[in-house]
Structure 1
Amino acid sequence: MAKASEVKTGNILRFNGELVLVEEFVHRTPGNLRAFYQANMRNVKTGKFIEYRFRTDEEVTIARVETQNYQYLYEEGDNLVVMDNNTYDQIYVPKVMFGDGVKFLTEGMQVTVAIENDEPIMAQMPSHVELVITYSEPAVKGNTATNVTKAATVETGAEIRVPLFINEGDKVRIDTRTGDYIERVK
């Protein structure tokens, strides 16, 4: 158990039996009232937003979470199998923890997984990935003066929007959080 004054932004707390990520933690002293800590937290499993005021002497439980890089191996049902590069241990991580960016995941890619009590609680992909375009309609000459985009398929099978000058075989950088094209890679 720790005091509320020891909590920092980014900590994971056990709050009302659930794991929550502290997104914002501010000390407030309103006029002649007692000081308190205003916490904005997000439930790790459900994503629900929670606001709570901690007294300065209130006891909280800071969860012991290990965050580590893993290598993505393959997909098995609703789980992704990832491997620890040091011990070669394999763990199953539910696919939903990666969000929409999972469609850009390729074998051998490094991902970050947070584990508490031998159970994955959060997973994160790299913010940008470089993938090869496997299918793209050819551009019509003269249509490149405006910000026109076309549909293209990358090596993972995901479909994205790219500028007209992108062709099959080109390597592009993609933002995994939004699925947007960033730039062509040489």
Structure 2
Amino acid sequence: MPTITAGDFRNGVTFEMDGKPMVVIEFQHVKPGKGAAFVRTKYKNVITGAIREESFNPTAKFEQAVVERRDAEYNYNDGDLYYFMDPETFDMTPLNRDVLGDAFKFVKENTLCKLMSFNGSVFGVEVPNFMDLEITETEPGLKGDTATNVTKPATLETGAEIKVPLFINIGDKITIDTRTGEYLSRCKE
């Protein structure tokens, strides 16, 4: 396993600490007038999502964490288990609901995602940043009502609820930003 030092930290660098994978969110090399230099680091446990801030000696050594990302197609769910298929080997991987993350509520069947694993165990799912989904339930839109920044609740085909502009109707296809859960635009047919 390759090692890295705290002096090598950059945003997005992954390292192992106490046998757990961490990713650097922010870093700052500090060289005070007196005393030794240090690296102020904000990092996140990629499995639990816990964020910590800590200062390290620039020569402190860490194992480099190898987080594997591989394509998998979301097929279906059965209760709390969600099944993903490897597009090359057709192997099925069942995952528990608590591994999926908040953005997964915008994913429909047959969507290509990325499974993230560390030492062979899957800890998370990366979903596409944008999804085109159909509105299944909302109040009817009023013709000519184009007031800006006025929204109404709507239910998507995946069951997720979001806020949409007043002119959106049932059956409309819209684009959602899965990172924020916000309406972006109406899809062009």
- The TM-score by the shorter chain falls in which range? 0.7 to 0.9
1:142 shift after superposition: 4.8
Larger deviation, residues 46-55 vs 167-176? 46-55
Q: Evaluate the alpha carbon distance shift between residue 76 and residue 117 of structure 1 in structure 2; reply closer, same or farther with a 3 A threshold.
A: farther
Q: Counterparts of 1:157 and 1:122 in 2: how far apart (Å)?
A: 21
**Counterpart-to-counterpart distance in 1, 2:141 and 2:112:** 34
Shift of 1:184: 0.3
Within the candidate set 51, 68, 76, 2:70 is matched to: 68
Select which of 135, 147, 152 maps to 2:154: 152
Indicate the residue corresponding to 1:173 in structure 2.
175
CA contact (8 A) 1:73 1:82 kept: yes
Provide the aligned C-alpha RMSD in A.
Answer: 2.0
- More displaced, 138-147 or 149-158? 138-147
Q: Secondary structure at the match of 2:185?
A: strand
> What's the CA shift string for 1:36-79, capped at 9, x where partnerless?
22211012233222112221221211112211222111123333
Is the CA contact (8 Å cut-off) linking 1:98 and 1:125 kept in structure 2? no
- The residue identity in structure 1 corresponding to 2:44 is R
Say if 2:106 is the partner of 1:108: no
How far the C-alpha of 1:146 sits from its partner, in A, is 4.6
Counterparts in 2 of 1:9-28, with a 5 A limit? 9-28=11-30
Q: Give the residue type in structure 2 aligned to 1:16.
A: D
How many residues were matched structurally? Answer: 186
Which stretch shows the higher mean deviation, 88-97 or 124-133? 88-97
How many angstroms apart in 1 are the aligned matches of 2:76 and 2:84? 7
Is 1:172–1:181's contact at 8 Å kept on the other side of the alignment? yes
Q: TM-score, normalised by structure 1?
A: 0.87
Whole-Å separation in 1 of the counterparts to 2:109 and 2:131: 12
